[in-house]
Chains A and B, each alone.
Chain A
Amino acid sequence: MAHLNTSANIAGPDDFYAELLATHEGLSKAESDALNARLILLLANHIGDRAVLTEALAAAAHAPGGDKA
């Protein structure tokens, strides 16, 4: 069974990070929230594997700063 890949997996992390922020540039809070929601759905569909998605949800919920779930 596949697991959530939590080791560094993106080539050019600074580039990606800048692109992520640039995508949000000039958006209101509500527009950014909507964009994030669309992005999550697109990425989740791309991953597809239900077990990996569950791991990702748990990892996000339990990361430092998010431990309420």
Chain B
Amino acid sequence: MSKIFETPLYPYQRSADQDASQPVRHPVIVIGAGPIGLGAAIDLAQQDVPVLVLDDNDKVSWGSRAICFAKRPLEILDRLGCGDPMVDKGVVWNTGKVFFDERQVYGFNLLPEEGHRRPAFINLQQYYFELYLYERLRELEAEGKPVQIRGGNKVVSVTPKDDYVALTVDTPDGPYQLETDWLIACDGAGSPTRAMMGLDFIGRVFEDNFLIADVVMKADFPTERWFWFDPPFNRNQSALLHKQPDDVWRIDLQLGWDIDKEEEKKPENVIPRLKAMLGPDVEFDLEWVSIYTFQCRRMEKFRHGRVIFAGDAAHQVSPFGARGANSGLQDTDNLIWKLKLVMDGKAPESLLDTYDWERVYGADENILNSSRSTDFITPKSEVSRQFRDAVLDLSETYEFARPFVNSGRLSVPCTYDGSPLNGPDAAGLPVRTRPGSPAVDAPVSGGWLLDRLGDKFQLLAINTEVPANLEEGGIAIEGLSLSTGDDPSGALKDRYLGKAASAVYLMRPDQHVAARWTAYDETAVRAALNTATGRA
């Protein structure tokens, strides 16, 4: 049986654009059909913005790569119409164990907060993740939405012009030219677009190698995340064991810097390592083996005129903390509504610079967290190792030391504190829903709050009235009034009212809070909308 990631999904087909006498101009072209490019294309197509996706390949991710997807991206996927297949297939886990040397030092249960539609995270192979995104894109296409994907289309030149971008695309039938009003580069960490435009990608290289082996085994290891520091089967290094669907387990073994990658990848070298880790009697098959190194870095700016970078093309982090694909989806979540407003002439082009502001802020947060995890996992000096080992030793007996143990801080959504799009805040409302925050889910009248938010500006009113429809400079604001009667669990009150009797939230199309008040004030709402769309 061939694996999903070996099966062509969108093989090269000749397109009419290749026979046109003049280069055909598209409104938006996305380079790359990885998770981020697919996410961008679905978002655009859902909003009826014509989009063309080009990928030099025609399959999903080779091997799994990302496995851990956090709650915020799952919520974004709900808005994109493909959260369900991911969560249905994914493995939900809450417990973890930490081992140091030969012993377990402690276990934890992440006990997710009640009252959210989606779990804190799921594990799912990246190839499934991409497959479900791809299927969603095809579903939109079948519904008549303006989206196309072209496999075997390799972008080989990118030339920004004053008000469009010219591309050369190589295909099995030879090269052809295209033009686009806007280009979204989601072409991965090695981004050829970035290189072709001569742009920087600065950061820190971590001199380390990790062996990933995805193995299929029927063994009844529990659905937990196991992390080893300095185990007997991988001395002075770390190891990770984590479950994925279909009895596939992710094993991640740190190897150090001075190794021969080709040698280490050979099954005759991999299998003894795995046997030492799993025990001699456990039977397993290798699904995929790879060796990776990583860097923590980002582009100085994500927007370069009409070329906008997203996902790994714009920023790269270590895998510890699962922040790569998770943060990339937050990029396009942030970008697409802004791009649509600009394309529709309802907001100035400078609104796109706030994509840069907000997502650079997010990337810096991720790079900081991911660098800190890496420094804990791989101490860079003798004293850093002493403190690391001291933390691990103490954590076995003392609860206080456990929060210091850093085997990856799992991705949490970014709050855009200080963003130029943020409007007024009101004293006394809960901190977690302050302007710049992503909306926090809550059960409301038989459904979920987040299912009622997104894709447009909305006024969320709690225990007060707001108009059902309002318009400001061509942008509609829809009213959504809820009351204590819709809030049986009290979660809405906890998360949005605090001690206040009523509240009004201006929500952005990406479900982030733009501004909030304790009572409705039309003039203030109109002003905040203008601020939130870069028109103030």
A4-12, A14-22, A34-42, A59-67 - interface stretch: A34-42
A54 within 8 A of B: no
Annotate B370-400 by CB proximity to A: 1 below 8 A, 0 otherwise: 0000000000000100110111011000101
- Complex CA–CA separation, A26 to B62 (angstroms): 55
A33 adjacent to chain B (CB < 8 Å): yes
Contact with B along A27-61 (1 / 0, CB 8 A): 00000011011101110010000000000000000
Contacting pair B386 A41 (CB below 8 A) = no
Cross-chain contact B401 with A33 (CB below 8 angstroms): no
Residue B292 interfacial (CB < 8 Å): no
User: Are B400's CB and A38's CB within 8 A?
Assistant: no
Q: How far is the CB of A36 from chain B (nearest CB, A)?
A: 8
CA distance A45 to B399 in the complex (A): 11
Query: How many of chain B's residues have a CB under 8 angstroms from any CB in A?
Result: 12
CA of A38 to CA of B394 in the docked complex: distance in angstroms?
7
C-beta contact mask, B466-500 vs A, less than 8 Å → 1, else 0?
Answer: 00000000000000000000000000000000000
A residues near B391, Cβ cutoff 8 Å:
41
Residues of A within 8 A of B288 (CB): none
Does the CB pair B400–A45 fall under 8 Å? yes
Residues of chain B within 8 A of A41, CB atoms compared: 387, 390-391, 394, 401, 404
Most buried by A among B387, B390, B398, B401: B390
Name the A residues within 8 Å of B400 (CB-CB): 42, 45
Q: B101 CB to closest chain A CB, in angstroms? A: 13
| Chain B hits for A34, CB < 8 A | 386, 389-390, 393
Q: Which residues of A contact B390 (CB under 8 A)?
A: 34, 37-38, 40-41
A33 contacts B404, CB within 8 Å? no
3 A-B pairs closest in CB distance: A37-B390, A45-B400, A38-B390
Least CB separation from B387: chain A residue:
A37
Q: Which residue of B lies closest to A42 (CB)?
A: B394
A28 to chain B, nearest CB (A): 13
